Structure 1
Amino acid sequence: MKKVFCSLVIIVVLVFSCCTTNKSTEVAKENSFAKGADVGWLPQMEVTGYQFYDADGSKKDCLQLLKDRGMNTIRLRVWVNPSDDKASGHCSKEETVAMAIRAQKMGMRIMINFHYSDSWADPGKQNKPAAWKNHTFSELLNDVYSHTTDVLKALKSVGITPEWVQVGNEIPGGMLWPEGSTDNFGQLAQLLNKGYEATKAIDPKIKVIVHLDEGNNSKKFRWFFDNAKANNVKYDVIGLSYYPFWIKTDYKENIADLANNLNDMASRYDKEVMVVEVGGIDTQEQNTHDMLVAVIKAVKAVPNNKGLGVIYWEPQGAKSWSHYELSAWRSDGKPSMALDAFKE
């Protein structure tokens, strides 16, 4: 009888241990999924007097509002020598460090997004910083390495090592035009690799992202990353933007294409993938919420845990302040219910 009792105890302990382990694994997997916001406008919004409110009307710190809605990650763009323009300036090294300190104190994970420009870099413009304008290609390689190193060292000096570093912003046509255009992919590859090498020299555990727009466009991604492979570009993560608004569609028309492209990128290049920018129309809260749910589901469904996360671009960037209509903030200063998608 004693032997039977002992055997039963052992079985119960093993079953409980197994269930606990499985549950712990599930929790760890969920916590590792990045749910976040790019908030480059936030310091300027606050300086100009914009007030943030919770659903009950109480004033609250914007980062706390985002955290309360399930977000655990903050993405910060950095420009080389930006102006002080309210909407198209700031985001200097010093301002980025200050914002990163604030985000880390809130328990947030950090992504740094290098534009390698003095202002916006995107598919339509990849302007070199004014200080680099007349530099030779060899000098541009040094510029990318030095600027990347300078910013990451400044962060490290205050105890911050970002989890991800993005080398270039939405670069289907390359960066630092004309030298870094995809018309000369070999040179673009060298520039990207300088950003990669500078990042890994700071900390080899930082994951380096290469980022394109139109995440539902498989043809664009295959063309770019086939060329990246042929030219030995070094990176860890494929970053995607997904904005149905900019391609004049509803998400239901191409969410399957996004999902298929995520899976294809992960398997074709054996890389992790991440939607580093997403957004929907601020006044269409339910549609934006449902789109976010679908995007999060698509990224989480990438096999072998290669889908790392989803980041909303400037959710707090209310149209009344920014004139940008893809935030997730209401005119009364309160977060849109669309952001509840990150809680789920």
Structure 2
Amino acid sequence: MKKIKSTLFFSMIISLVFSSCTSQTIDRPGQPINNFAKGADVGWLPQMEATGYKFYDTDGKQKDCLQLLKDRGMNTIRLRVWVNPSNDKASGHCSPAETVTMAVRAKKMGMRIMIDFHYSDSWADPGKQIKPKAWENHSFSQLLTDVYNHTFDVLTALKSAGVTPEWVQVGNEIPGGMMWPEGSTKNWNQLAQLLNKGHDAVKAVDATIKVIVHLDEGNNGEKFRLFFDNAKANNVKYDVIGLSYYPFWIKKDYKETIADLANNLNDLTTRYDKEVMVVEVGGIDTLEQNTYDMLTAVIKAVKAVPNNKGLGVIYWEPQGAKSWSNYELSAWKSDGKPSMALDAFKE
């Protein structure tokens, strides 16, 4: 896919998208300060639909996936954005233009929006933080400009389409840093500069957007203290600490680690005076009751954070059925219907 480099291209896309929007997509709806975010990352959804996947309610009637999620109490949609992705069904797409289109659709459904910048052409996570191909030979100075411009351009395109995200992640699961090797935690001074460029671009578009810095293993307090102590020492600017929590990848049942998650949430708010949010969570699709119980416990832990500093919980690709994605931590059944585990998000 040809690299998108300018807001001029975005404006052409937006003019088409915006013309179809109703008035409810123009301004972010007023949200109570302490309105708890319950949501889903649904980056696969457009491709699932494009390949013919159908979503059904428990009564067997076909229904829009976002409506099914909303019916289960969800009020927030998280969308990843890649710089120059491939057309691969499961590991591509999520381009800036595609992200805008999906965000407008979610906003029309009354959803709140989070944008997750990976600063890569595909998956960025603790095991891989690969710079976009178009940036790989750039100097560090140019990388700073790349991060700023990419962040600013995508958010400007979103805002032009009537979608101002409430939250923006600068990097995805970055305990070892991002955009290796320049942004590795082996060089905290440079990582801090990259993070701050992302922060500054977000605030330049809209100062009310909250900037999230995100790590994995939300139960691992030592990992978070090591990272955020260094972030503080290097004057990294952010508003919210984002956590992933996957008992499956920790290789322990949630009952063994939920107390550690709760303790870490509370410690982070006290130690760094920041809000916290579980921005990724998931359980084994076939263990519906266990996943339901885990989600109930996670929501309870985040809501229990003092002074309303626990902002919300987001399930990662709940609709991403294993039959389509080969991912076993969705919350969707083989018959195209949502798992009862998602009922944990209902009031």
Same-fold call, TM > 0.5?
yes
Which of 333, 341, 344 aligns to 1:341? It is 344
> Residues 142-199 of structure 1: CA distance to partner in whole angstroms, max 9, x if unpaired?
0000000010011011111100000000000000000000000110000000000000
Q: Which residue of structure 2 aligns with residue 204 of structure 1?
A: 207
Q: Which residue of structure 2 aligns with residue 272 of structure 1?
A: 275
Q: Which residue of structure 2 aligns with residue 12 of structure 1?
A: none
Q: Which residue of structure 2 aligns with residue 332 of structure 1?
A: 335
Which of 137, 145, 148 aligns to 1:145? It is 148
Question: Matched residues, percent identical?
Answer: 84
Alpha-carbon offset, residue 247 of structure 1: 1.2
Alpha-carbon offset, residue 28 of structure 1: 4.8
Alpha-carbon offset, residue 135 of structure 1: 0.4
> Residues 33-67 of structure 1: CA distance to partner in whole angstroms, max 9, x if unpaired?
00000000000000000000000000000000000
User: Any gaps of 5 or more consecutive residues in structure 2?
Assistant: 1-30
Query: Across the two proteins, how many residue pairs are aligned to each other?
Result: 317
Q: Which amino acid aligns with 1:157?
A: S
Matches within 5 A, 1:50-199: 50-199=53-202
Write the distance in 2 (CA, Å) between the matches of 1:313 and 1:50: 18
Write the distance in 2 (CA, Å) between the matches of 1:29 and 1:248: 36
> Residues 58-88 of structure 1: CA distance to partner in whole angstroms, max 9, x if unpaired?
0000000000000000000000000000000
Write the distance in 2 (CA, Å) between the matches of 1:232 and 1:272: 17
User: Any gaps of 5 or more consecutive residues in structure 1?
Assistant: 1-26
Q: Which residue of structure 1 aligns with residue 299 of structure 2?
A: 296
Structure with the higher fraction of residues in helix conformation: 1
Tell me the SS of whatever aligns to 1:254.
Answer: helix
Write the distance in 1 (CA, Å) between the matches of 2:288 and 2:162: 38
Alpha-carbon offset, residue 217 of structure 1: 0.1
Q: Which amino acid aligns with 1:273?
A: V
Write the distance in 1 (CA, Å) between the matches of 2:239 and 2:274: 6
Alpha-carbon offset, residue 336 of structure 1: 0.1
Q: Which amino acid aligns with 1:241?
A: S
The verdict on how the C-alpha distance between 1:161 and 1:28 changes in structure 2, with shifts beyond 3 A counting, is closer
Which of 308, 311, 314 aligns to 2:311? It is 308
Alpha-carbon offset, residue 29 of structure 1: 6.7
User: Is residue 253 of structure 2 the alignment partner of residue 247 of structure 1?
Assistant: no
Write the distance in 2 (CA, Å) between the matches of 1:174 and 1:337: 36
User: Is residue 208 of structure 2 the alignment partner of residue 234 of structure 1?
Assistant: no
Write the distance in 2 (CA, Å) between the matches of 1:212 and 1:76: 17
The verdict on how the C-alpha distance between 1:93 and 1:29 changes in structure 2, with shifts beyond 3 A counting, is closer
Q: Which amino acid aligns with 1:90?
A: H
Aligned-CA RMSD value: 0.9
Alpha-carbon offset, residue 256 of structure 1: 0.1
Write the distance in 2 (CA, Å) between the matches of 1:128 and 1:65: 36
Write the distance in 1 (CA, Å) between the matches of 2:215 and 2:311: 16
